[in-house]
Every structure is written in C-alpha cells, then in structure tokens.
Amino acid sequence: MTASEPLQDMIERTTQRVLRALGQYAAGYEPPPPPPSPPDVSQMSPETLAAMIDHTLLKPDATAQRITEFCQEGLDYRFGAVCVHPSWVEPCIHTLSGSPVRVTSVVGFPLGMTLPEVKQHEAKALIALGVAELDMVLNIGALKSGNFCLVWNDIHMVAEAVHQREALLKVILETGYLTDEEKVAACIIARTAGADFVKTATGLGPGGATEADIRLMRRTVGGALGVKAAGGIRTLDDAYRMILAGANRIGTSSGIRIIQEARRRAAAPGASAQR
C-alpha cells in the first residue's frame, strides 16, 4: 500500500490480485458480509470474556503434571478452550471430557513449512483423538513468494480433514513477517480455502497481535470468518483492545491474570470495565 492509497482501495486491489491468481480455486467468491459490531466491553462479564479465551500452553518443556494443572485451570476459569501441543491432546481430552472446555491443538507449528500432506495427516490424527479446533500455520515462505495456489492447497487440505468431523480451523498468518498486502492476501486465501478463523501469530515469531492488524484482518474478512488475536496479550486492557478492534477470540498464556483482573474490576464499587 502506498502512503496515499486508502486502506479499502488496497484491500480491494489485493483481493482481486489474489482471486486472479487462484483462478478456479476462487470460483464462487463473493464479497464478505459486513463485520459484526464489537461488543461493549464495559458491560462484558468475566465469564463472557473467559469463554472467548483459548488458554494456551505451548512451551516445549511443559510436563505431564503441568498439563494436568493446566486443564484444571481451564475448568476453574471456564475458558472457552485449552490449546496444547499434539502430544498432550489425549490427556487433555480425557481430563476435559464432558465439560464445556474445548481442546485445541496446532498443526505445522510453529513455522508452517511442512508439506500439505503432512499437515493434513497431522490434522486427521488430532481430529480422530477428539480435538474441537485446530490452529495451523500457513506456508509463510510460499505466501511471500506469491505462490498463492500452494498456500490455498495447504489450507484446503487441512480444512477438508477438520470439517469432516465438524471441527473448526484457524489459520495463523504470523503477521510479524508480512506486509499489509500479504496479510490481506492471506485472509482472502484462508477464506476461499475453507478456514473458519484467521489468527495473528504463533507467539514465537516476530511481533504479536496489534490493534492495526486485527482491524485490517476484520475489515478484510468482514463477518465471514472469526478473527483470533494471539501473541503478546498479557493484560485485561490488551484483551479489550483486541476485542474492540474486531477480535472474537483471544489466544493467551495469561488468561488467568486477565480474568482475575476482570473479576476485580467487576467487584469494585461502581464497577465498569476500563476500555
């Protein structure tokens, strides 16, 4: 985008470029419905906020004991989901069975550079174990090379596997590596390939979630997809800013701190959430 080019013009120009490159893969594409209005965070209860949080533990040195504690935190705080590495999915499914807390895992994490067939196999194995949602990293190098058909196929193969079991697919863009045009391109490809959400970052790459990126992603996908903010969200006000920018899911390892702060504010005399 040039300094003088309006944002919407850049989105439309990039969208058309991507659709031309995808050809038949983009058949039937229609402009997205308008984005939903963000909720009034001043009226949001801690319970409503907790249900929007993917409580995340993706540290490589997490132990079995820590995973057990982590699942209990998901139950105690009523998070929407817990997100763990594939090797920890089975014990999490066992612990959280029958509860409203979903189990989420990751595919092609954290670099996104495995083969589409490998990502699809990983997705099938995780879906068979019972995960409700998968967060996959797209092929960042292919996107930046302009190989949009490869990126589409990469996502589509995982989406097919995920949707066979009525699970959800979130596509991680790793926005810290991308220009604004590439972020728009990634959103359009993810949508046409069958994703349910677009997500900012792994938390392990450069940068994390920003309000500007969330606004751009929401403006690009409108109301057609969910938008997950992840990477560097550590405080209640961080979470509120992302929600007001257009996120409807928050991925964070600081969920307990965020909900504890939300509860303190809700309990304060004359309480209203601070924007």
Do residues 228 and 170 make contact, with C-beta atoms less than 8 angstroms apart? Answer: yes
Q: What percent of the chain has pLDDT over 90?
A: 95
251-269: b (≥16 Cβ within 10 Å) or e: bbbbbbebbebbbeeeeee
Report pLDDT for 272.
53
Residue 175 covered by a domain: yes
Question: Is residue 124 among the annotated active site residues?
Answer: no
Q: Tell me: the pLDDT tens digits for 5-21? A: 799 999 999 999 999 99
Question: Is residue 135 among the annotated active site residues?
Answer: yes
Q: Can you tell me which residue has the tokens 């999490």?
A: 92
Residue 35 covered by a domain: no
How many distinct structural domains can be found in the chain?
1
Question: Domain range spanning residue 163?
Answer: 7-25+48-267
Residue 36 covered by a domain: no
Residue 90 covered by a domain: yes
Q: Tell me: the pLDDT tens digits for 69-95? A: 999 999 999 999 999 999 999 999 999
Enumerate residues 6+ apart whose C-beta is below 8 A from 80.
Answer: 50, 51, 52, 53, 54, 101, 102, 249
Of these residues, 119, 170, 183, 228, which one is catalytic?
228
Q: pTM here?
A: 0.95
Of these residues, 119, 196, 199, 213, which one is catalytic?
199
Question: Is residue 228 among the annotated active site residues?
Answer: yes
Region 262-266: what's the mean pLDDT?
Answer: 97
Report pLDDT for 3.
60
Q: In this predicted structure, which of 101-105, 210-214, 265-269 has the lowest mean pLDDT?
A: 265-269
Residue 43 covered by a domain: no
Residues 60 and 66: their CA atoms lie apart, in Å, by: 12
**What CATH code is carried by the domain that includes residue 154?**
3.20.20.70
Residue 42 covered by a domain: no
Of these residues, 54, 135, 154, 238, which one is catalytic?
135
